[in-house]
């Protein structure tokens, strides 16, 4: 089923990713909100059926307010959504000048890949019940990741990549591939309430909120898009 959609707000990787996902789902993207069946605005300055915000942005809105927590965008052009530190750490790992001990007091984050977010939003937007979904809807990952876990995984991935380029693999470098899942932090962070997201996705015909992109794949994509 096609639906006329208008996307407004500052264009970045996130907005473009959502536009691409909606197009693949059969939506017709229109330039004017007056021509649209469903209007989406990024940021608190606009209006529409859906407004998409960062956690520090506030708005009084009668429709659906989507609050994005800890968005991970591999290209690194959507830093104001929260992932700037990941790209800084990746750059420091590549240059070999990151001290993991400086990260010990940073709270874990509930990282979620932009593809998973766009898939969920597309399911809601394209559903027949989209206009009936209102309130504040949080989106984040389900599992928290400590900075130490992220950096250790980055170091392992970058080391394996460098060994491949230099033909310098050893038995040790190939045999031990730790997972960041095994690195638990003593510092805990409260996860955003995902109940409305999960319930809404089920009501739209999906199986609920089950993000699919593994953290390891996300970090590999950050390195792949890193600027030389």
Residue 7 sits at φ, ψ, to 5 deg, of: -110, 125
> What are 47-54's contacts with CB under 8 Å, separation 24+?
48/6, 48/8, 49/130, 49/131, 50/121, 50/124, 50/125, 52/9, 52/121, 54/80, 54/81, 54/82
pLDDT score at 177: 56
Say if CB 145 and CB 215 are below 8 A apart.
yes
Q: Which CATH architecture has domain 4-225?
A: 3-Layer(aba) Sandwich (3.40)
The answer to whether the beta carbons of residues 18 and 121 sit under 8 Å apart is yes
pLDDT at residue 14, as a whole number: 95
The pLDDT, as a whole number, for residue 170 is 57
Phi, psi angles (nearest 5°) of residue 195: -65, -40
Per-residue confidence (pLDDT) for residue 99, from 0 to 100: 84
Query: 119-134 pLDDT, tens per residue?
Result: 999 999 999 999 999 9
**122 three-state secondary structure:** helix
Mean of the per-residue pLDDT values of the chain: 89
Domain boundaries, the chain: 4-225
Q: Which residues of the chain have pLDDT under 70?
A: 1, 163-187, 227-228
């Amino acid at each position: 089923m096609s639906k006329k959609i208008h996307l407004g707000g500052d264009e970045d990787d996130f907005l473009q990713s959502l536009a691409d996902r909606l197009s693949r789902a059969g939506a017709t993207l229109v330039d004017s909100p007056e021509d649209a069946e469903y209007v989406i605005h990024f940021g608190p300055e606009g209006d529409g059926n859906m407004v998409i915000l960062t956690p520090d942005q506030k708005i009084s809105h009668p429709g659906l307010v989507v609050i994005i927590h800890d968005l991970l965008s591999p290209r690194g052009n959507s830093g104001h959504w929260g992932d700037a530190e990941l790209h800084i750490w990746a750059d420091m790992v590549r240059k070999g000048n990151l001290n993991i001990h400086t990260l010990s007091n940073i709270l874990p984050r509930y990282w979620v890949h932009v593809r998973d977010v766009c898939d969920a939003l597309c399911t809601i937007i394209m559903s027949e019940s989209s206009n009936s979904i209102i309130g504040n809807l949080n989106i984040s990952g389900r599992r928290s990741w400590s900075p130490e876990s992220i950096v250790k995984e980055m170091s392992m991935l970058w080391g394996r990549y460098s060994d491949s380029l230099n033909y310098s693999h050893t038995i040790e470098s190939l045999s031990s591939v730790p997972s960041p899942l095994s690195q638990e932090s003593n510092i805990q962070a409260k996860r955003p309430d995902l109940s409305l997201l999960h319930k809404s996705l089920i009501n739209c015909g999906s199986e609920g909120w089950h993000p699919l992109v593994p953290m390891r794949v996300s970090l590999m994509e950050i390195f792949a898009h890193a600027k030389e």
